[in-house]
Amino acid sequence: MGIKTYNEQEVILGCASNNRKHQEILYKKFFPKMMQMCMRYTSDQDKAMQVCNDGFLKVFKNISQFQNKGSFEGWIRRIVFHSLSDFFKHEKKYLHFMVFEEKEKSSQQNALDQIYYDDLLKMINELPAASANVFRLYAVEGYKHKEIAEAMNISIGTSKWHLSEARKKMKELIFKYQQKSNYAR
pLDDT per residue over 138-162, tens digit each?
A: 877 777 888 888 878 899 999 999 9
pLDDT per residue over 100-131, tens digit each?
A: 443 443 444 444 444 555 677 778 888 898 88
Give me the amino acid identity at 70. Answer: G
Regarding whether 106 and 73 lie in a shared domain, the answer is no
CATH number at residue 150: 1.10.10.10
pTM of the model: 0.52
Q: Which of 33, 7, 44 is nearest to 22 (CA)?
A: 7
pLDDT per residue over 171-184, tens digit each?
A: 888 888 777 765 55
Q: Which of 133, 122, 118 is nearest to 166 (CA)?
A: 133
Regarding whether 41 and 65 lie in a shared domain, the answer is yes
131 is in which domain, residue-wise? 95-185
Please state, in angstroms and rounded to a whole number, the distance separating the CA atoms of residues 9 and 94: 36
Please check the confidence at residue 90 and state whether its pLDDT lies above 50.
yes
**Average pLDDT, whole number, for the chain?**
79
Choose one of 34, 58, 91: the last residue of a domain. 91
Regarding whether 103 and 66 lie in a shared domain, the answer is no
Regarding whether 101 and 61 lie in a shared domain, the answer is no
CATH number at residue 54: 1.10.1740.10
Regarding whether 79 and 62 lie in a shared domain, the answer is yes
Q: What end-to-end distance do the CA atoms of the chain give, in Å?
A: 71
pLDDT per residue over 48-74, tens digit each?
A: 899 999 999 999 999 998 888 878 888
Please spell the DSSP secondary structure of 53-110, one letter per residue.
HHHHHHHHHHGGG--S-S-HHHHHHHHHHHHHHHHHHH-GGGTHHHH-SS---HHHHH
Regarding whether 66 and 41 lie in a shared domain, the answer is yes
Total domains in the fold of the chain: 2
